[in-house]
Amino acid sequence: MSSKLILTFFLGAAALTLSACSTDNTPTDTQVIDGGSVYDGRITEVLDADGALAVGNPNLPDGWTGPAALADKHTIYFGYDSDQIQDQYISVMQENAKYLRANPDARLVVEGHTDERGTPEYNIALGERRARSVARYMQNLGVDVAQISIVSYGEEKPVEPGHDEAAWSKNRRAVLNY
């Protein structure tokens, strides 16, 4: 991408805390993104060749970035319009709780997701409800509240792109990310 002009803005303390989402193998303090600008806790915004402001860090991995031992134990699926945790996923949460108790420096981000039915703004509220429900359960399993944060993506980040129940059932989920 050819960057013509580089603009940097201070985005305040709230933005700084977000680097907590990344894992140890991901550089966060200083790293080069486009055009030699330095990511130093400020958000670097690049004006792209087509005139758009380009934001976000393309070098950060998207998707799940937790410890290998939990690679197949990080997703809890939900029924339609429900934030009820089904029994079959309790072991997933127990495994994660065990890991978090043993690693007090580890930070969990509970991501809440919904299927595409309903409106995006309503779904983001439903996704938050799912994330909260999981976060509460993790606390009950003895995880320190300071280790847990939540974020709802609503229907914005489906894992399955289809538009039928097969896809929807995989998209109604909470992901235990690190």
Partner 1 sequence: MFRKIVAVMLFAAALNCQAALQIEITGGINEGHRVAVIPFTQPTGLNLDVAAVVSADLMRSGKFAPLPMTALPKGSVAQGEIVVDTAAQSGAEAAVTGKVVPTGSDYEVEFTVTGLQGANKGKVLARYSGKAPERLLRQAAHRISDRIYELYTGQRGAFRTRIAYVVFKRGEKYPYQLMTADYDGFNERPVLKSTQPIMTPTWSPDGTRLAYVSFENRQPAIFMQNINSQKREKLATYPGLNSSPAWSPDGTKIAMTLSKDGQPDVYYYDLGEHKLYRVTDNRAIDTEPNWSSDSKILYFTSERGGRAQIYKFDFATHQTERVTYQGQMNLSARPIPGSNALVVITRQNGFRVARVDQDGSLYMLTTSTLDESPSVAPNGSMVIYSTVYQGRKGLAIVSTDGRFKAYLPSSAGEISAPAWGPLLEK
* 63 burial level (CB within 10 Å; 0-12, 13-18, 19+): exposed
The tokens for 12 are 């305040």
Q: In angstroms, give the least distance from the CB of 76 to partner 1.
A: 19
For residue 118, state whether it binds partner 1 (rule: CB under 8 A): yes
Q: In angstroms, give the least distance from the CB of 121 to partner 1.
A: 4
For residue 128, state whether it binds partner 1 (rule: CB under 8 A): yes
Q: Among 54-62, 66-74, 83-91, 98-106, which window interacts with partner 1 (CB under 8 A)?
A: 54-62
| 37: CB partners within 8 A, 6+ apart | 3, 6, 8, 44, 46
Determine contact, residues 131/174, Cβ cutoff 8 Å.
yes
CA dihedral in degrees (129, 131, 132, 136; nearest 10)?
140
Q: Among 23-31, 85-93, 139-147, 150-158, which window interacts with partner 1 (CB under 8 A)?
A: 150-158
Minimum CB distance to partner 1 smaller for 36 or for 51: 51
* 101 burial level (CB within 10 Å; 0-12, 13-18, 19+): middle
Binding residues for partner 1, rule: CB under 8 A, are 1, 7, 9, 11-12, 14-15, 18, 21, 43, 47-48, 50-58, 60, 62, 109, 116-122, 124-126, 128-129, 150-154, 156-157, 161, 163
